[in-house]
């Protein structure tokens, strides 16, 4: 019976670039910057790295296929470089590969790196390349990410018979909170506080999502070096260890997009991945035990629904928790302490590792007081890739 | 008895007051004020002759077993392809069998009636039965031209057969004249016409009486025998002169629909016939005349079956489903008459891979899904492995056509970011009545018309147009069922 990887893998070091419209930096530049910070933090040399998992999503406009670009950019010494692509969970998938490499005993020290260069497209929003193959490109609507996620809101409103005004109010609070957190974070893409009234009156992107309900479209890279607790102890004998407690991934079964039972108001995959992750980490009551979260707030409505899917809020009650400040930086479970996708930015395949970067540094107490989460024990990260009816979800839990 | 078994009509949702056009373009041709009365029907941005013909044909075969359809004829002068049989697209949208006779008729405005005569001849000869004839046109005049004001968009369809006939076919008479009053060269987008006085006096004024008299002589009837006489001609003066010449009383002559639809080309006399049949009673003799490069005249007599003919949208039902298009430039944009900025997102290349399209042609054209024989779950697109979590049967499915099932709105949005020539793109999940779901574009509506749980019908539409390769691709969209429209 598989027992999972709880406490078998330690994050030895991490790096993360400033996210944003990095017009003058290539994917390679961003990777080198994140890696340089990471390897210094880890206290090892490049020759110590035995294997690499690298994540990129939009290979068409990015670095192409495979892992060759990273081998060449970092001049890695002929080690395996495996590219992972699984929508917005790509970065966490690279991390999962690296952790499994260590936990299996195949390797001692492994690098996981995510990088995405989105701002070479020529227009706002994500690149409009077909994500689900040619048939869906031909038959499906010419849909965008905001349009597909916006439908969570119409479905949520119908499922809980809740007026759209109340949902909009909660969504606005979510974005307001992330902007507040973003102002405190020098690496974040968007660092301006936005008043609630401005959020509520912003131009509509995809009904009912306004401009401030949508996350930043950014360039950036983040990475982690992982090893065993024993090796970490040798390299950093006096440091506290950030251990991996759980990593779970769930992919849609087709039920959501084909079968009429799903109500569209939340993600089946998140519920499944969360259940499995809590089991792997030994967490019984997530609302009480999770100290902080970085979730996939590609849109404010995604964050709202995710609070229920992660079993933090009761079904239909996330708007109340949000409006009560439960997820604010000074709330019971700070959510998006670094600004989230909303303000830190969302270079697709870097996001999962960026979230872990925040949890890692919070757990080690490295952040200034104005944005430090108090006495964190467990940090949860969550990615949701694809679209609500066809998605991949990853949930990772790290802790001391 | 051979004749018309069924009819169907289609008038697009949008109507434009001709003064809207004149308000923008009257400056270039002030005399056009004489043509700027009433309104014209305008195809939506995702409609063309093929989609309108499919809609009229679907109306025509309402509640009819599609497997019994023996042929599909499509008539238009504005087909989306020169090489690719559009009748197959209409047949696909009807989900007919594929071992049926399909043919396109075109190049002259009388093609609609010629297709009808050909279908009647085939039934008469016993080589085909239950042949569906659908005619549609979406002709364009240049900005500021009289044609721009006179032309309208629409379609009409008939099924002809030898049982349950509502109008018996008694005979026909035809003429062919190389009389070039209107023409379009093989690459032309816009209609060109010669002097209107000549068209009026020599064209309509002589050819319509010629063919009517020819038919009357051939079958030993007089114009007075006909309860309803249908002929296209949008010149009011010429109509009066023709009526006088043929000794027709005003109540015999079916209105030319100019004030409410416009001249729909090949569909024009057929749409008027739909209207006539809606108002007819057993024993009525109907004279149907087309005009363009000559004339066809067809002689019908309405039977008792007209009383038990089930109601459908036809002409009046379509006429009453409407929305105002009050923006001339939007019309130009929909018809791709002006270059418009869709943003770089709109320039992403859309490949049409024909081998893949063929593999999937039934799901694309007929909205054919699958039904699991093990558990009965309907799914779209068709699945080899059943999606029902407790089932999962492999290769136990059978095809099921979903285009006529209708559905209910599951989720929706209206997207300003998506590239569209008619933003915002409105789309969402639709749950098919009877099971299955898919994310469809909504059309003929705004987001304000949508509520989760409300009913929709499916409509065959242009899915995308690839300008670089001149490819029009079709798929189904969802149209909210509006209260009181039916």
Residues of chain B with pLDDT > 90: what percent? 97
Residue A1: the pLDDT is 79
Is A139 a domain residue? no
Q: Are residues A203 and A64 in the same domain?
A: no
In angstroms, the separation between the Cα of residue A349 and the nearest Cα of chain B is: 21
Q: Is residue A185 domain-resident?
A: yes
Q: What is the pLDDT of residues B25-81, one digit of tens each?
A: 999 999 999 999 999 999 999 999 999 999 999 999 999 999 999 999 999 999 999
How far is the alpha carbon of B179 from chain A, nearest alpha carbon, in Å? 43
**Structure tokens that stand for A300 in this block:** 């404010």
Sort out which chain B residues have CB atoms less than 8 A from A208's CB and list them: 413
CA gap B344, B340 in Å, rounded: 12
Asked if B425's CB is within 8 angstroms of A141's CB, the reply is yes
CA distance to partner chain B, nearest, from residue A124 (Å) = 9
Instruction: Pinpoint the alpha helices (H) of B335-478.
Output: 354-359, 361-366
Both tokens of B258, joined, read: 């100019």
Chain B positions touching A215 (Cβ under 8 A) are none
Mean pLDDT of B278-294: 97
Name the interface residues of A facing B (CB cutoff 8 Å): 121-125, 127-129, 134-135, 137-144, 146-148, 150-152, 154-155, 157-158, 203-209, 253-255, 257-260, 264, 389
Query: Could you tell me if A384 and A88 are in contact, meaning their C-beta atoms sit under 8 angstroms apart?
Result: yes
Q: Taking 80 as the threshold, does the pLDDT of residue B17 lie above it?
A: yes
Contact at 8 Å (CB) between A347 and A353? no
Contact B415 A144 (CB under 8 A): yes
Scanning B451-480 for CB atoms below 8 A from A yields 452-453, 463-464, 473, 475
Q: Which domains does chain B have, with CATH numbers?
A: 3-334 (3.40.47.10), 402-480 (2.40.50)
| Residues A52 and A152 reside in one and the same domain | no
What pLDDT does B483 receive? 60
Confidence of residue B347 (pLDDT cuts 50, 70, 90): confident
- Predicted confidence at residue B335, as pLDDT, reads 97
Residue with tokens 């497997």: B67
Cβ-based burial of B390 (10 A; exposed 0-12, middle 13-18, buried ≥19): exposed
Contact list, B360 vs chain A (CB under 8 Å): 135, 139
- Pair A251, A117 in one domain: no
Q: Domain limits at A256? A: 145-207+244-399
Residues contacting A204, CB < 8 A, separation 6+? A210, B414, B416
**A141 chain-B contacts, CB cut-off 8 A:** 418, 425, 427, 439-441
Do A377 and A315 lie in one domain? The reply is yes
- Contact list in A for residue B381 (CB cut-off 8 A) is 135, 139
Q: Supply the CATH number for residue A81's domain.
A: 3.40.47.10
Asked whether residue A66 is domain-assigned, the answer is: yes
**Model pLDDT, residue B482:** 79
Confirm whether A177 is domain-assigned. Answer: yes
Do the chains contact at B453 and A134, CB–CB below 8 Å? no
Q: Which residues of B touch A147 (CB under 8 A)?
A: 413, 415, 417-418, 425, 427
- A358 and A229 share a domain? no
Cβ–Cβ under 8 Å, residues B273 and B196? no
Determine, for residues B389 and A123 on separate chains, whether the beta-carbon distance falls below 8 Å: no
The tens digit of pLDDT for each residue in B117-139 reads: 999 999 999 999 999 999 999 99
Q: Is the Cβ of B410 closer than 8 Å to some Cβ of chain A? A: yes
The residue whose two tokens read 């490295």 is: A366
B291 touches chain A (CB under 8 A): no
What average pLDDT does this structure show over B351-377?
96
Q: Decide if B435 and A135 are in contact by the 8 Å CB cutoff.
A: no
Which residues in chain A have their CB less than 8 angstroms from residue B363's CB?
139
- Give the Cα separation of B116 and B94 in Å (integer): 18
Chain B: closest CA distance from residue A125 (Å): 8
Instruction: Mark whether A395 and A339 lie in a shared domain.
Output: yes
Q: Which residue in A217, A192, A189 sits closest to A344, CA to CA? A: A189
Q: Chain A within 8 Å of B388 (Cβ-Cβ)?
A: yes
Residue A365 is assigned to a structural domain of this protein = yes
Looking at the structure, do residues A248 and A345 belong to the same domain, yes or no? yes
Per-window interface: B 151-170 vs A, CB < 8 A: none
Q: In chain A, whose CA is at the least distance from the CA of B461?
A: A139
pLDDT at B33: 97
On whether both A229 and A372 belong to a single domain, the answer is no
Q: Which of chain B's residues have a Cβ under 8 Å away from the Cβ of A163?
A: none
Active site residues of A: 88, 346
Q: A254 and A379 share a domain? A: yes
Q: What is the total count of domains within chain A?
A: 2
- Same domain? A171 vs A307: yes
Probe site for chain A from B350, B356, B365, B417 (most A CB atoms < 10 A): B417
Overall residue count recorded for chain A in this entry: 400
Q: Are residues A118 and A254 in the same domain?
A: no
Q: How far is A341 from chain B (nearest CA, A)?
A: 19
Same domain? A172 vs A320: yes
If DSSP codes are grouped into helix, strand and coil, which group holds residue A187?
Answer: coil
CB contact under 8 A, B360 and A121: no
Residue of A nearest to B441 (CA): A141
In angstroms, rounded to a whole number, what is the distance separating the alpha carbons of residues B145 and B336? 17
User: How far apart are the C-alpha atoms of B352 and B176, rounded to whole Å?
Assistant: 40
CB pairs under 8 A between A and B: 140
- The answer to the question of residue A4 being in a domain is no
* CA distance, residue A323 to nearest chain B CA (Å): 24
Tens-digit pLDDT string for chain A (400 aa): 788 999 999 999 999 999 999 999 999 999 999 999 999 999 999 999 999 999 999 998 889 999 999 999 999 999 999 999 999 999 999 999 999 999 999 999 999 999 999 999 999 899 888 889 888 888 999 999 999 999 999 999 999 999 999 999 999 999 999 999 999 999 999 999 999 999 999 999 999 999 999 998 999 999 999 999 999 999 999 999 999 999 999 999 999 999 988 999 999 999 999 999 999 999 999 999 999 999 999 999 999 999 999 999 999 999 999 999 999 999 999 999 999 999 999 999 999 999 999 999 999 999 999 999 999 999 999 999 999 999 999 999 999 9
Give one DSSP letter per residue of B453-467, joined into a string. T-EEEEEEEEEEEET
* pLDDT tens-place string over residues B295-337: 999 999 999 999 999 999 999 999 999 999 999 999 999 999 9
- Mean pLDDT, chain B, whole residue set: 96
- The answer as to whether A5 is a domain residue is no
Contact assignment for A140 to B439 by CB distance below 8 Å: yes
For residues A165-179, b (16+ Cβ closer than 10 Å) or e, as one string? eebbbbbbbbbbbbb
Q: What is the pLDDT of residue B486?
A: 39
Q: Could A143 and B415 be called an inter-chain contact, meaning their C-beta atoms sit closer than 8 Å?
A: yes
A166 occurs within a structural domain: yes
């Amino acid at each position: 019976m598989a027992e999972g990887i709880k406490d078998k893998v330690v994050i030895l070091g991490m790096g993360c670039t400033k996210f944003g419209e990095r017009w003058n930096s290539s994917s390679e530049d961003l990777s080198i910057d994140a890696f340089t910070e990471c390897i210094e933090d880890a206290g090892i040399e490049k020759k110590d790295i035995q294997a690499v998992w690298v994540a990129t999503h939009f290979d068409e406009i990015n670095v192409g296929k495979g892992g060759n670009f990273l081998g060449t950019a970092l001049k890695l010494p002929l080690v395996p470089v495996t590219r992972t692509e699984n929508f917005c969970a790509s970065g966490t998938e690279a991390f999962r590969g690296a952790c499994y490499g260590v936990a299996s005993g195949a390797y001692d020290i492994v690098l996981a790196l995510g990088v995405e260069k989105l701002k070479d497209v020529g227009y706002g929003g994500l690149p409009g390349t077909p994500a689900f193959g040619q048939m869906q490109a031909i038959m499906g609507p010419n849909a965008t990410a905001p349009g597909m996620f916006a439908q969570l809101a119409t479905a949520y409103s119908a499922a809980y018979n809740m007026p759209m005004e109340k949902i909009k109010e909660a969504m606005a609070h979510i974005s307001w909170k992330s902007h507040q957190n973003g102002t405190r974070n020098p690496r974040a893409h968007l660092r301006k506080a936005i008043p609630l009234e401005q959020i509520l009156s912003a131009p509509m992107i995809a009904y009912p999502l306004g401009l401030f309900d949508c996350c930043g479209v950014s360039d950036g890279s983040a990475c982690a070096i992982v090893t065993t607790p024993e090796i970490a102890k040798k390299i950093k004998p006096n440091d506290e260890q950030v251990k991996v407690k759980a990593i779970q991934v769930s992919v849609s079964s087709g039920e959501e997009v084909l079968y009429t039972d799903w109500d569209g108001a939340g993600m089946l995959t998140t519920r499944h991945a969360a259940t499995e992750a809590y089991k792997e980490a030994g967490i019984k009551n997530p609302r009480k035990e999770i100290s902080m979260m970085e979730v996939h707030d590609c849109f404010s409505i995604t964050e709202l629904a995710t609070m229920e899917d992660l079993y933090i809020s009761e079904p239909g009650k996330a708007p109340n928790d949000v409006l009560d400040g439960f997820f604010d930086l000074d709330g019971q479970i700070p959510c998006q302490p670094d600004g989230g996708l909303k303000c830190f930015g969302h270079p697709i395949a870097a996001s999962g590792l960026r979230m872990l970067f925040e949890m890692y540094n919070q757990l080690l107490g490295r952040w200034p007081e104005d944005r430090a989460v108090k006495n964190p024990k467990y940090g949860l990260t969550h990615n949701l890739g694809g679209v609500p009816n066809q998605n991949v979800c990853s949930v990772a839990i790290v802790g001391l | 008895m051979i004749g018309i078994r069924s009819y169907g009509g289609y008038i697009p949702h949008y109507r434009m007051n001709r003064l809207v056009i004149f308000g923008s373009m009257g400056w270039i041709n002030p005399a056009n004020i004489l043509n700027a009365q009433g309104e014209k029907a305008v195809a939506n941005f995702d409609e063309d002759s093929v989609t309108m013909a499919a809609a009229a044909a679907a109306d025509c075969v309402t509640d009819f077993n599609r497997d019994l359809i023996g042929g599909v004829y499509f008539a238009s002068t504005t087909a989306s392809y020169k090489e690719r049989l559009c009748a197959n697209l209409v047949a696909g949208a009807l989900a007919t069998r594929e071992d049926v006779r399909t043919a396109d008729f075109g190049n002259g405005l009388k093609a609609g009636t010629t297709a009808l005569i050909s279908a009647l001849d085939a039934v008469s000869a016993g080589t085909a039965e239950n042949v569906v004839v659908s005619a549609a046109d979406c002709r364009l005049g240049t900005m500021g031209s009289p044609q721009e004001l006179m032309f309208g968009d629409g379609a009409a369809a008939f099924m002809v057969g030898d049982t349950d006939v509502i109008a018996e076919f008694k005979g026909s008479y035809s003429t062919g004249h190389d009389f070039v009053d209107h023409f379009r060269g093989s690459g032309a987008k816009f209609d060109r016409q010669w002097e209107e006085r000549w068209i009026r006096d020599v064209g309509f004024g002589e050819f319509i009486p010629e063919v009517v008299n020819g038919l009357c002589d051939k079958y030993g009837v007089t114009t007075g025998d006909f309860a309803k006489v249908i002929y296209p001609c949008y010149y009011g003066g010429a109509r009066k002169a023709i009526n006088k010449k043929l000794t027709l009383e005003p109540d015999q002559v079916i209105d030319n629909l100019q004030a409410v639809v416009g001249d729909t080309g090949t569909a024009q006399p057929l749409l008027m016939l739909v209207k006539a049949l809606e108002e007819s009673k057993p024993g009525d003799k109907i004279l149907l005349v087309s005009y363009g490069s000559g004339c066809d005249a067809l002689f019908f007599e309405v039977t008792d079956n007209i009383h038990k003919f089930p109601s459908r949208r036809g002409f009046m039902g379509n006429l009453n489903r409407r929305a105002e298009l009050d923006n001339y430039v939007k019309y130009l944009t929909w018809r791709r008459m002006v270059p418009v900025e869709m943003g770089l997102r709109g320039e992403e290349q859309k490949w049409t891979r024909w081998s893949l399209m063929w593999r999937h042609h039934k799901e694309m054209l007929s909205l054919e899904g699958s039904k699991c024989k093990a558990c009965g779950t309907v799914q779209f697109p068709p699945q080899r492995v059943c999606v029902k979590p407790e089932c999962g049967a492999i290769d136990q499915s059978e095809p099921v056509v979903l285009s006529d099932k209708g559905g209910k709105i599951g989720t929706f949005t209206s997207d300003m970011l998506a590239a569209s020539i008619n933003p915002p793109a409105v789309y969402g999940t639709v749950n098919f009545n009877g099971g299955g779901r898919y994310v469809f574009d909504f059309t003929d509506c705004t987001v304000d018309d949508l509520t989760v749980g409300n009913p929709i019908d499916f409509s065959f539409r242009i899915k995308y147009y690839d300008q670089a390769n001149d490819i029009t691709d079709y798929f189904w969209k969802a149209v909210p069922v509006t209260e009181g429209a039916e």
